[in-house]
Structure 1
Amino acid sequence: MAAGAELFRRNGYSGTGLKQIVTEANAPFGSLYHFFPGGKEQLGQEVIRTSGLAYIQLFDLFIAPAPDLVSGIEAFFAAGIATLEATDYVEGCPIATVALEVASTNEPLREATADVFTAWIEAGTEKFAKFGLSREAARTLTISVVNSLEGAFVLCRALRDTEAMAVAGATSVDIARRLQDEQL
């Protein structure tokens, strides 16, 4: 499944073939259908849900231990910049990559991406609320951060430049400060 996640992140769902997946996984072709009788679509759903839910750990890694909300958000976006630079703009979000491809053409995969985004919003809401934001404000901030991060990954990969990620991070910090000020 890790091979599928990596290939979907880099090539998208449509750009990844079954032969590529089994070759990358160093597995016999028949094993794919043994573990995923529904073929590529079932594998895609599993990859989306598994790798997507693993990204929730980023909230624990960057937001939860931060001394304050702004520092956590800055660390979150700095990590995005570091990832892009370290991978020569190849790494992005596998969920967004697939979601953009399949939102209107493949309902099971659309549902899988929606489930992941919903889980991210719930996790982010919990983490941001611990900094004193109301649940409503924490949810607004989470949706804004996810929107900004996903959009920034698209622009950065296309432009091969991290300016969009830096701007997205600064904008998210501004939104966080405004929401915190409203809570006072």
Structure 2
Amino acid sequence: MGKKGGSTKQRMIEVMAELLETGGYGASGLSELGKETNTPKGSLYFHFPGGKDELTSLALLHSGNQLNSFFLSVLAGTESPAQAIKQVFHTLEERIVSSEYKKGCPIATTAMETAGSVPLVSLTCSEVYSLWLKTFESYLVDKGYTPRIAKNLSLSLLSLWEGALLLSKLQKSPEPLRVAAKTAESLFKQN
């Protein structure tokens, strides 16, 4: 594949990632993707022989890796877990508010929609969540937490921000994220 083909493929992945985050799997049609990327439907199958499921999986990995890179940069740039978590929640709040509550978690909508019905996509969602959990677990272990406590705290954090993002999106309010951030910070004051 030439340079142009590679950039077209990447553009399709990025656009699909946006469509999935704002509308979910069912609402992210190939016709809309074609319009957004100015590519014919046949290009999809040329670049993604596995069709929509393959493209969706790659788009979710793209989004998941982008958010994980953000997590890594925050974790590396803060002095304490409490500061890091505060920054993560603050950025998630800025992100959802600036999108006028169209964006939330780039994985959650598709994960809930495809759980058990689209195996490749469900597996990809699970892999992304595992990546995020491992990122936080490793960070917390490096900060002196036992592996068991680090695992429990990481799962609690993921659950808090996923629930808060959903409620913020539904209520069109940052309040659920703010409350969840305070709860998350308190977890680190106890440990």
Q: TM-score, normalised by structure 2?
A: 0.89
Alignment partner for residue 122 of structure 2, among 107, 110, 113?
110
**CA distance in structure 2 between the partners assigned to 1:96 and 1:73 by the alignment:** 20
**CA distance in structure 2 between the partners assigned to 1:133 and 1:31 by the alignment:** 49
Alignment partner for residue 126 of structure 1, among 135, 138, 144?
138
Counterpart position of 1:141: 153
Alignment partner for residue 2 of structure 1, among 10, 14, 30?
14
Equivalent residues of 1:12, 1:94 under 8 A apart: no
Once the two structures are superposed, what CA deviation does each residue of 1:50-81 show, in whole Å capped at 9, x if it has no partner?
Answer: 22122111222222210111111111101111
Unaligned stretches of 5+ residues in structure 1: 180-184
Q: Does 1:66 align with 2:78?
A: yes
Secondary structure of the equivalent of 2:107?
Answer: helix
**CA distance in structure 1 between the partners assigned to 2:140 and 2:28 by the alignment:** 36
Once the two structures are superposed, what CA deviation does each residue of 1:75-114 show, in whole Å capped at 9, x if it has no partner?
Answer: 1101111111111111111211100101132122111101
Equivalent positions of 1:38-77 (< 5 A) are 38-77=50-89
Counterpart position of 2:167: 155
Q: CA RMSD in A?
A: 1.2
Counterpart position of 2:8: none
Equivalent residues of 1:102, 1:109 under 8 A apart: yes
Q: TM-score, normalised by structure 1?
A: 0.93
Equivalent residues of 2:137, 2:147 under 8 A apart: yes
Q: Does 1:24 align with 2:24?
A: no
How many residues are matched?
179
Once the two structures are superposed, what CA deviation does each residue of 1:127-158 show, in whole Å capped at 9, x if it has no partner?
Answer: 12222212221111111111111111110000
Counterpart position of 2:111: 99
Counterpart position of 1:182: none
Q: Does 1:168 align with 2:166?
A: no
**CA distance in structure 2 between the partners assigned to 1:129 and 1:2 by the alignment:** 33
Equivalent residues of 1:77, 1:166 under 8 A apart: yes
Q: Does 1:14 align with 2:26?
A: yes
**CA distance in structure 2 between the partners assigned to 1:36 and 1:162 by the alignment:** 37
Q: Does 1:85 align with 2:66?
A: no
Give the letter for the 2:21 counterpart: R
Equivalent residues of 1:59, 1:127 under 8 A apart: no
Deviation of the 1:44 alpha carbon: 0.9
